[in-house]
Amino acid sequence: MELKYAIIGTGAIGGYYGGKLALAGHDVHFLYHSEYDYVKEHGLDVKSVNGDFHLNNMNLYNNTADMPKCDVVFVCLKTTQNHQLQEMLTPIIKEDTIIMLIQNGLGFEEELSASFPNVTIAGGMAFICSSRVSPGHIVHADYGALTTAYLNNKYDHAVADQIKADFEGAGVPYTQGDDLKTFRWRKLVWNIPYNGLTVVLRTTTDKLMNDKASRQLVTELMEETVAGARACGANIKDDFVQKMLHNTDKMEPYAPSMRLDYDNHRAMEIKGIYSNPIAMAKEAGFYMKKVEMLEQQLKFIQQNEY
Amino acid sequence: MELKYAIIGTGAIGGYYGGKLALAGHDVHFLYHSEYDYVKEHGLDVKSVNGDFHLNNMNLYNNTADMPKCDVVFVCLKTTQNHQLQEMLTPIIKEDTIIMLIQNGLGFEEELSASFPNVTIAGGMAFICSSRVSPGHIVHADYGALTTAYLNNKYDHAVADQIKADFEGAGVPYTQGDDLKTFRWRKLVWNIPYNGLTVVLRTTTDKLMNDKASRQLVTELMEETVAGARACGANIKDDFVQKMLHNTDKMEPYAPSMRLDYDNHRAMEIKGIYSNPIAMAKEAGFYMKKVEMLEQQLKFIQQNEY
């Protein structure tokens, strides 16, 4: 089965995953915004720990109205742009299209499903260190696996298997599970402490881990998130927090995406990483108090420093 | 009764209150550190909303070993220096000396009482906007009342009355109450949100009040503090939080003392304003969770940015 893929938002994430698929010979259609002219002329350059590559003659667009209808649409925009999705995606959606949100945070698959009630929707968790260093230039420094699951576990198995086969054939480790909620919450256990605290305290993961007070706070934020996740029915094991701390101890000093957004005065993904999870946990009976304080501080910063 | 007064730490607070007593003709002995030479030569200059004044020929010292024993010792140092108090105060203490801590935060009178078990100890809450703008120069911009109470309510009433009379005669509104714990906690209801948040969010009181998220956080920090205070047996009325918010709304944009300490890379008074109250409330059965998060963030900042 030959699938037609769309990459909506070709940045560090979309450029890497879409680039890998295109490099392996698949039919990939890339939506660009500000970098359109540059990439049209020079192509896309990816420096990757798994081997550098360069793409020319890509299927490039700067408007979805010009794109063909696709079988699989990967949304790799910042979630702060998700209010545009309904209008943006409509031209490329057909009856059996799958939309996969490769984004951070909770609740967006459900939101999108309200806009496209008959379309199959999935979430993709990218475990990757990748950055767009200049127009048309991506550096993929580490990791790269994609973990996915379908909203309400409703999907066409043959197509899902083909997507998995295409990624694996292109050299991308790909896991498909059946519990989107658990996957999303697990990622939040890492994202909630490190994204917000590196912004509020203008620091990086290593400094948070090496200071007694902030390490304690990181741990408590993770534990609150696990408690919120479990209240919502997500399945998180008892040793998960210790594992996340341990993994972060071994990482290079790291500025998470929200810190990069802050440094570049881009809107921060507060809604998906904080407001939605806090509201869902509260609704389910658990009040993530310190997580909420981080949300309040980030909202202040976004409102007052931007 | 002629009382001999000592001012230990002649900054914005000690300089103003000691200066007012000296101006009114009382016998006041001032301990200076870095400004000693300047004030010896030029005197102390106070620009005050209640009338400017200048003092020459003050009783100046740069070491308590050279000072006379005093009847009333006002400690106006930052509490970050309180570990020096036992050694510093010993030369000027006699059997019936009263030591009054005109400082921020909770627990220091009790600590000092362990060092001087037979001495009368009091706490003074200064409600004043006063700053040291350069050596020997103080600007007193607003307010000025002193609210005091004696530790365990044990004191010589004749001396206490004389202190009150001396201050009132010198033009300082002076209240003496009988519940030090309540006074200290009431002041914390203001100090806890505004001191820490203006540092962590690099802002001022007005901006915190005008932003929806931070105003909510300020309110919650106040409510947590009231709950902690009540767990410890302090007496705080139901409308106190609304009053504090209302008063702050009416204030000029303000950078509290901890923000000034941060800006000038002076140690912050984290112990008295956060760690001690948190520990006392926890001991009494109430966990001030968001207040503790602020403490953790401030400790990180002090450890990593200084």
Q: Which amino acid does the sequence have at B301?
A: I
Residue range B191-238, pLDDT digits in tens: 999 999 999 999 999 999 999 999 999 999 999 999 999 999 999 999
Q: What are the residues whose beta carbons fall under 8 Å from the beta carbon of B210, sequence distance 6 or more? A: none
Mean pLDDT for A57-72 is 98
- Contacts (Cβ under 8 Å, ≥6 apart) of B47: B137, B138, B139, B140
Average pLDDT, chain A: 97
Q: Decide if pLDDT at B129 tops 90.
A: no
What's the average model confidence in pLDDT over B37-64? 97
The pLDDT of residue B248 is 95
> Min CA distance, B51 vs chain A (Å)?
38
pLDDT tens column, A163-177: 999 999 999 999 999
pLDDT score for B155: 97
> In whole angstroms, what is the distance from residue B176 CA to residue B178 CA?
7
A203/B299 Cβ within 8 A: no
In SS3 terms, B160-181 reads as HHHHHHHHHHCCCCEEEECCHH
**Is residue B306 pLDDT above 90, yes or no?**
no
Least confident of A45-54, B24-33, B128-137, B180-189: B128-137
For residue A193, the model assigns a pLDDT of 98
Give the model's confidence band at B113: pLDDT under 50 very low, under 70 low, under 90 confident, else very high. Answer: very high
Average pLDDT (B20-41) is: 97
Show residues of chain A in contact with B215, CB under 8 Å: none
Burial B237-276 (b: 16+ CB within 10 A, else e): eeebbeebbeebeeeeebbbbbbbbbeeeeebbbbbbbbb
Selection from B232, B257, B290, B253 nearest residue B110 by Cα: B232
What chain A residue is nearest to B301 in terms of C-alpha separation?
A: A201
ipTM confidence: 0.92
pLDDT greater than 90 at residue A252: no
Say whether B213 and A293 touch across the interface (CB within 8 A). no
Q: Do A299 and B212 touch (CB under 8 A)?
A: yes
Assign A115 a pLDDT band (cuts: 50, 70, 90): very high
The residues of B annotated with a catalytic role in the active site are 187
| Local confidence band at A129 (pLDDT 50, 70, 90 cut-offs) | confident
- Nearest-angstrom CA–CA distance, A237 and B29: 65
First to last CA, chain A: 47
Comparing alpha-carbon positions, the chain A residue that sits nearest to B297 is A214
The answer to whether the Cβ–Cβ distance between B217 and A289 falls below 8 Å is: no
The residue type of A191 is: N
What percent of chain A has a predicted confidence (pLDDT) above 70? 100
Do the strands B59-61 and B53-55 form a parallel or antiparallel pair, or are they unpaired?
unpaired
Q: Give the mean model confidence (pLDDT) for residues B175-179.
A: 97
- Chain B residue with CA closest to A298: the answer is B213
Q: Which residues of B touch A (CB under 8 A)?
A: 200-201, 203, 207-208, 211-214, 216-217, 289-290, 293-297, 299-301, 303-304
A300 to B200: CB separation less than 8 angstroms, yes or no: no
C-alpha torsion angle, residues A269, A270, A273, A279 (rounded to 10)? -140
Q: Give residue A34's pLDDT.
A: 94
Q: Above 90 in pLDDT, residue A77?
A: yes
| Confidence band for A214, pLDDT divided at 50, 70 and 90 | very high
Query: How many C-beta atoms surround the C-beta of residue B290 within 10 A?
Result: 20
Chain A residue with the nearest C-alpha to that of B204: A304
Q: Do B300 and A211 touch (CB under 8 A)?
A: yes
| Banded model confidence at residue A180, pLDDT cuts 50, 70, 90 | very high
pLDDT single digits (tens) A105-114: 999 999 999 9
Q: Give the residue from A197, A207, A212, A304 with the most B CB atoms within 10 Å of its CB, the best one to mutate.
A: A304
Band the pLDDT of B254: cuts 50, 70, 90.
confident
pTM flag (> 0.90): yes
For residue B204, list chain A residues with Cβ-Cβ distance below 8 A: none
Instruction: Please report, for residues A249, B18, B98, the alpha-carbon distance to residue B73 in angstroms, rounded to integers and kept in the order given.
Output: 50, 10, 6
Give B140's strand partners.
B48, B130
Q: Please identify which of the residues A164, A187, A271, A289 carries the catalytic annotation.
A: A187
Cα–Cα distance for residue pair A169/A47, rounded to 1 Å: 19
Neighbours of B83 (CB within 10 A): 10
Beta bridge partners of A75: A8, A101
Asked if B132 contacts B45 with a C-beta cutoff of 8 angstroms, the reply is no
Whether residue A217 and residue B304 make contact (CB cut-off 8 A), yes or no, is: no
Average pLDDT on B172-184 reads 97
A288 chain-B contacts, CB cut-off 8 A? none
Q: How near does any CA of chain A get to the CA of B259, in Å?
A: 15
Contacts of B296 in chain A (CB under 8 A): 213-214, 216-217
Q: Which of B206, B207, B300 to mutate to test the interface with A (most CBs of A within 10 A)?
A: B300
Neighbours of B2 (CB within 10 A): 8
Q: What is the pLDDT of residue B276?
A: 98
Provide the shortest C-alpha distance from residue A218 to chain B (in Å): 10
Instruction: Check residue A69 and give its pLDDT.
Output: 98
CB distance A299–B207 less than 8 Å? no
Residue A300: which of B213, B290, B294 has the nearest Cβ?
B213
Place of tokens 């994609």: A146
Helices (H), chain B: 12-23, 36-42, 85-89, 108-115, 157-169, 180-200, 205-210, 212-231, 240-250, 257-263, 270, 276-283, 289-305
DSSP assignment string, A268-280: P-HIIIIIHHHHH
Cβ of A303 within 8 Å of Cβ of B211? The answer is: yes
* Amino acid at site A258: M
Q: How far apart are CA A183 and CA A106, in angstroms?
A: 10
B295–A293 C-beta distance less than 8 A: no
